[in-house]
Amino acid sequence: MSQNEISAIDDPVELVDEQPDVGAVRREVLKGLTAATKTLPPKLLYDERGARLFEDICETDAYYVTRTELAIMEADVSTMARELGPHCRLIEYGSGASVKTRLLLEHLDSPAGYVPVDIAKEQLVETASTLSADFPELSVTPVCADFTSEFTLPDEPDDAARSVIYCPGSTIGNFHPPDARRLLRHAATVTGEDGGVLIGVDLLKPRDVLERAYNDEEGVTAAFNLNVLDRINRELDADFDLDRFRHRAFFNETDRRVEMHLESVGPQRVRIDDTVVAFEDGETIHTECSYKYAPEQFRALAGSAGLEARQVWTDPRDYFSIHFLVARS
Ligand code: AVJ
């Protein structure tokens, strides 16, 4: 799926480029759209435009997630930095704009490197260059990859006391619990006995708050969701009519997740390369799950991956949580 090459970009940072190529995207799109229940993997939402739209979502009034997590970071970053300890190498899964990471990096004692991993290449390169300029002492090694499949991490530098995987934003919520467990177990093997996982997890809360957050009045989330069809039109040879799909997001209480779908307006046929996909009126493409946890549920999930919480931080409303997980003794 990937060409593993190291290319010099803007002077100080070197990109490890394992971004899935168009062939990999095509395979995932066709697999998802020809299945009995149509789905697209949420990672496909993050092309260049999608990554920018997600940043806009974070600015909406309704989307409490980013704002709440940032407030927890602001309140507790010193304690977090102390837990992570001196000479810690930080590996971030789904780094995006790295806003919260800045706060952490500012408070860490002599960090031994920062490895942002993200699938959205343009945003990754730009963020890594800016961070590298703002933290001149810090070695920044961006890796463009799909962290749900095999990818290469740079070796731990000799002066690193430990590696910690940072996974903020409730990115873990995009995974069905068995996949989340696998990801956590893999993270535990990457960081080993001395390392850890600092992870943001969105919490269960009243339905109206959740549904508002994924149906903002400005329509940014709708644009973000619909962009995946536009991206498929642009990157593959496809003819989705964006006016004939509608954004739908709702809380599925049984499965404790917010679901995002694209609903067909009327019956229609869409062509992707040589494949024709038929939609019934009202049929949907399921584009995202965003699981919400009770703190003890997440604790149990981490436990089943061999990790235990050394510390958990929340906000006063208990909307969001940040867990520092270490290998279970
Ligand atoms: C970045 C995956 C955490 O699930 O809340 C925001 C993505 N989707 N609005 C989330 C998202 C719709 C977001 N994550």
Ligand 1 in reach of 221 Cβ (< 6 A) = yes
Q: What is the pLDDT of residue 119?
A: 95
Burial of 158 (0-12, 13-18, 19+ CB in 10 A): exposed
Inter-residue contact 301 to 293 (CB < 8 Å): yes
Index of the ligand 1 atom closest to the CA of residue 42: 2
Span from the CA of 156 to the centroid of ligand 1 (angstroms): 30
Q: What is the pLDDT of residue 11?
A: 53
CB atoms within 10 A of CB 16: 20
Q: What is the pLDDT of residue 1?
A: 38
Index of the ligand 1 atom closest to the CA of residue 290: 4
Mutate to test the pocket of ligand 1, among 40, 52, 54, 321 (most ligand atoms within 8 A of CB): 54
Minimum CA distance residue for ligand 1 atom 5: 290
What are the CA-CA distances from residue 277 to residues 26, 240, 245, 318 (Å)? 14, 10, 14, 43
Q: What is the pLDDT of residue 85?
A: 97
Percent composition of the chain: helix, strand, coil (DSSP 3-state, to 5): 40, 25, 35
Q: What is the pLDDT of residue 13?
A: 84
Ligand 1 in reach of 171 Cβ (< 6 A) = yes
Inter-residue contact 69 to 100 (CB < 8 Å): yes
SS3 assignment, position 202 = strand
Residue 293, strand partner residues: 203
Ligand 1 in reach of 69 Cβ (< 6 A) = no
Q: What is the pLDDT of residue 252?
A: 98
Residues in the chain predicted with pLDDT less than 70, given as ranges, are: 1-12
pLDDT tens digits for 90-99? Answer: 999 999 998 8
3-20+64-205+293-327 maps to CATH 3.40.50.2300? no
Measured CA to CA, the distance from residue 47 to residue 200 in angstroms comes to 23
Span from the CA of 90 to the centroid of ligand 1 (angstroms): 22
Ligand 1 in reach of 65 Cβ (< 6 A) = yes
Sequence-distant (6+) residues with CB within 8 A of 275 are 30, 33, 34
Span from the CA of 282 to the centroid of ligand 1 (angstroms): 23
Ligand 1 in reach of 214 Cβ (< 6 A) = yes
Mutate to test the pocket of ligand 1, among 199, 288, 291, 321 (most ligand atoms within 8 A of CB): 288
Q: What is the pLDDT of residue 8?
A: 45
pLDDT tens digits for 150-203? Answer: 999 999 999 999 999 999 999 999 999 999 999 999 999 999 999 999 999 999
Index of the ligand 1 atom closest to the CA of residue 213: 9
Residue ranges of domains in the chain: 3-20+64-205+293-327, 22-59+214-291
Span from the CA of 85 to the centroid of ligand 1 (angstroms): 30
Sequence-distant (6+) residues with CB within 8 A of 291 are 172, 173, 174, 175, 176, 177, 180, 202, 255, 256, 257
Mutate to test the pocket of ligand 1, among 148, 170, 257, 260 (most ligand atoms within 8 A of CB): 170
Minimum CA distance residue for ligand 1 atom 14: 171
Sequence-distant (6+) residues with CB within 8 A of 258 are 210, 211, 213, 214, 249, 250, 251, 252, 288, 289, 290, 292
Among all chains, which residue has been given the structure tokens 């467990």? Answer: 181
Buried b (16+ CB within 10 A) or exposed e, 121-141: bebbbbbbbbbbeeeeebbbb
